[in-house]
Amino acid sequence: MHYLVSEDVTYEKVWLELQALAWNHPDLRERLAHVNAEWRAVLTDAFREPHRELGIELPLDALVSLVMTFNIGMEVERLGGIETGHEELLDWIDGWLSNSRR
């Protein structure tokens, strides 16, 4: 999650601009869906074990969707100059994860 709070938002901006282009270009939309599916698979694999270890009741696919949409929200707000509560939210999540592993 470090990239969400880093100073370099170039990747985030380009990725969102490509998504916006795909809304009106079916050929780009198909490629975007493919890349999104690959990223979703990476996150699903990465979250599988922690999901089990932490006993998270939310289904794994739903958890991955939540994380993906959470990231998009953070990215969009940051690109608009809005950062209110972001650091506190990420700190809370880190604390929750640390406490859940004990």
Per residue in 84-94, pLDDT (tens digit) is: 998 898 889 88
Q: Specify the pTM.
A: 0.81
Per residue in 8-59, pLDDT (tens digit) is: 677 788 889 999 999 999 889 999 999 999 999 999 999 999 999 989 999 9
Number of domains in the chain: 1
pLDDT at residue 1, rounded to an integer:
59
Structural domain containing residue 12: 2-100
CA distances 77 to 39, 55, 62, 66, 84, Å, are 21, 31, 22, 17, 9
CA distance 97 to 28: 37
Res 6 pLDDT > 80:
no
